Amino acid sequence: MTYVRLKHHDKVASKIINITKGQDIQKWNLQVRRLVRRLRSKDNHEADYLDIDMILGMMIDTYKMQRKLYQQDLKRTFTRMLEGSQEKCEVDKFQEIVKSCIPRELESDI
């Protein structure tokens, strides 16, 4: 097993989890705290560690859930905005629909 110190996880997780839809950092930290193990290092100091494989698996599951939510939201918004309209969807209109479904943290990437 490969472990990472809890304090290092907290730094990285705060950047990753905040951009996911439907998950906040407090909820994430509550889930992670159940997985913390107190280990002793070679120099006899104790510290809190997390199994990196479990954490990465949880992040991947969160990402998959986020993607599914984005897709559902985009489909719903696209259908609502173009429902009953016989005109073609212009690129500007399509970009507007996509931007309305993306969290503000990610808008600068588009």
User: Of 4-8, 62-66, 103-107, which range is least confident?
Assistant: 103-107
pLDDT digits (tens, 9 = 90+) for 27-40: 888 888 888 988 88
pLDDT digits (tens, 9 = 90+) for 16-66: 777 776 667 888 888 888 889 888 877 888 888 999 899 989 888 988 888
Q: What pLDDT does 71 receive? A: 86
Query: Is 74 a residue whose pLDDT tops 80?
Result: yes
Taking each helix axis from N to C end, the angle separating 6-17 and 52-82, rounded to the nearest 10 degrees, works out to: 10
Give the separation between CA 28 and CA 47, rounded to whole angstroms: 20
- Buried residues in 60-76 as b, exposed as e (16+ CB within 10 A): eebeeebeeebeeeeee
The domain spans of the chain are 3-109
pTM above 0.75, yes or no: no
- Computed over its alpha carbons, how large is the radius of gyration of the chain? 20
Give the separation between CA 5 and CA 36, rounded to whole angstroms: 9
Are the C-beta atoms of residues 85 and 104 closer than 8 Å to each other? no
Query: Is 87 a residue whose pLDDT tops 80?
Result: no
Average pLDDT over all residues of the chain: 80
Q: Which residue has the higher pLDDT, 15 or 36?
A: 36
